[in-house]
A and B are shown apart, each in its own frame.
Chain A
Amino acid sequence: MTALGRTDETGTASQAAGPGRGPALFRRRLVGMLAAAAAVALAAAWGSSFGQVAAVSIAVIVLMYVALAGGWNILGGYAGYMNFGTVLFFGVGAYATAITSSAWHLNPLLTAPVAAVAAAAAALLIGVASLRLRGGYFAIATFILTLAVQSLALVLGITHGAQGLFITGLGISPIRATRVFFDLFLALAVVAILICWVIERTRWYSALIAIREDEDAAEVLGVPTTRYKLTALLIGAVIAGIAGCFYAAQIYYIEPVGTFDFNISLATVVAAVIGGAGRWYGPLIGAIITELLAQELFVHVQGVYSQLSYGILLIAVVLAAPGGVAGLAQRALRRHPAPERPEPLQPTAQPLTIPATDKEIP
């Protein structure tokens, strides 16, 4: 798993851009991308063939939270809108898979597009209603809407209420299934992290940061805030919906209380924040730390202690290290300024002139 952490190289490549460094920049980028691809390939090989099954099944959980936290990061990290309802989209995806796969007699994994569409529809409904609310109100609205959807799943006929739904298995051995789901969640995690990485290199990123820093100012400057926030929520919801589909296919049986479990939302937020919200590698670091910690605490003491430690960690990070582990690492290294803070303009004594050049700007 730690092999994935090496993809850090690519994140800093763009910072090195300077006059006359075009080829060097290209080389560094290429090396970074190759390293990332190699790390992912290595992880895939480990999970699908020689890795111990017990370790692989833990890695499946870690990867699920890498994906969820990566999806959360887009709205929560960049735009600063805390979504405390990730599990809502996760659960909607899981239920969409359970309902359609049994109705159409399909392999549950083939219903992933349905789960994605269902989660996107839920995000659209909820986003239109709640994204007009600012910061804190949005956070608590997502929290309560999770309770609303859960209570809806408990009474609707199509979800079979508290009885829950069974999902047809994949017809493969449990060990084989663990390896298959490792690959699926690995792919989803890579996609989620890649989306964050790409976003950080677009204008859209600046717009989202502007929304986080001062939404009124962003709006005045022409950022279509509501549409951007909605898109950010949608991307995160689709990732969560697909994760829900995989989850449902993996555990065969879902019911409202366990599927819409608030702890899934909690673990997602904690992973992103502790790793470093607003950085593409933050969710990756955070999910590894928090899920391995939760696993240890669950095995050795009680589940409630992982909540206890999440609470303490959240408060500690907010008070002492607002940038999370990624921020701390960056501060320690100093060499790489955070991508979200562009270099301030240097005051110059001379009037600004643009030198005539025939060189192409890289």
Chain B
Amino acid sequence: MTTVTEVIATGVLLGLIYTLAALGLQVSLGVLRVLNLAHGIIVIAGAFFAFDLLHAWHITPLLAVILALPVFFLFGLVLDRGLVQRVRRVSEQAVLLGLFGAMILLQSLAILTWTTDSRSITVSYTNSSVTLAGVTLPADYLVAAAAALVILGIIAAALRFTMAGRAVQALAQNPEAARVLGVNVDRWASIVFGLSVAVAGMSGVLLADVFPFSVQEQSQWLAYAFIVVLVGGTGGIRGALVGGLVLGLAQSVFNQVLPLQYVDVVVYGLLAAALIVRGGGLASRRERAL
């Protein structure tokens, strides 16, 4: 019998995972004003990265998270230099279409590499549970959420306390002023985009711990990330946390009170509600500050 506390605790854990999974999309949108439509497929690529490392070299997902950072950062840099920086010079529509093309291209390459089968990862803590102060929680949720929290904490600290973090904040608030004050805007834009892709890939590794995954589910992860951004706004990690926790709690509660097939309908209903409520207020200057 699941208690109310357990439902809420599970929702919070889910929320932390969703926050990390959406952070990449939110950062590229908030800082660079680039809506990365390839976000979902990058998250799924992270999950397959974990799967392949585990099965080829028995590398545990927790180590794979760290390995994913340089790999996906490099991939992000390539994507930025090869496509994003170029289409940004053309027009807003070109950015969308270019990244849409990237999403389709990456998805079909992923299907050719990994097929459309659903996979899941089994590690020592899968299917076990931990009881903390009378509340029983699934161990895999706990591990993934803890790792997500650590990564979120590191990013928040880096943004706040390092010179690089301040440059990124300047870039988010006013790219022109940042340029005048000596921030190499193009270079930092590449680094930010690379980091946003890296975070997306790392979140994919953590997701693989918790959920089964397949290539075509990338659209679902893009949708979830967008819901988080829509609910929480583009105003930095705090906003992402709000959006992620709302989505996690909503899903955890609806999982208890609704038949399984209705959960998706309600989650997408949440999107519709967020759309109507927030409407034009999105991405206004006020919300762009990190």
Contacts and interface: CB of A to CB of B under 8 A. Distances in A.
A134 interface: yes
Nearest to A137: B282
A312 B101 contact: yes
A139 B104 contact: no
Given A140-B37, A318-B94, A311 B261 contact: no
Given A129-B275, A139-B35, A140-B35, A318 B90 contact: yes
A12 interface: no
B271 A144 contact: yes
A340 to B, nearest CB: 13
B268 interface: yes
A312 B101 CA distance: 7
A351 interface: no
Interface in A80-132: 80, 82, 84, 129-130, 132
B242 interface: no
Given A304-B108, A311-B101, A318-B94, A144 B268 contact: yes
Interface in A229-267: 262, 266
Contacts of A132: 279-280
Interface residues of B, number: 48
A152 to B, nearest CB: 6
Contact of B219 (A134, A262, A304, A318): A262
Which 6 residue pairs spanning A and B have beta carbons closest together?
A: A311-B105, A314-B101, A148-B268, A136-B35, A311-B104, A308-B108
Contacts of B103: 311
A141 B270 CA distance: 12
A82 B104 contact: no
A315 B87 CA distance: 9
Contacts of A145: 268, 271-272
Interface in B201-241: 219-220, 222-223, 226-227, 230
Contacts of B95: 136
A79 to B, nearest CB: 10
B275 A133 contact: yes
B268 A322 contact: no
B101 A133 contact: no
Contacts of A269: 97, 100
A325 B143 CA distance: 52
A148 B272 contact: yes
Nearest to B281: A132
B265 A155 contact: yes
A142 to B, nearest CB: 11
A308 B92 contact: no
Interface in B85-116: 86-87, 90-98, 100-109, 111-112
B70 interface: no
Contacts of A141: 226, 271, 275
A132 B281 CA distance: 9
Contacts of A139: 35, 37, 96, 100
Contacts of A319: 83, 86-87, 90, 98
Nearest to A305: B108
Contacts of B220: 147
Given A132-B280, A147-B220, A318-B97, A311 B108 contact: yes
B264 interface: yes
A134 B275 CA distance: 12
Given A145-B268, A151-B265, 8 more contacts: A133-B280, A136-B29, A136-B92, A137-B282, A308-B104, A308-B108, A311-B101, A311-B107
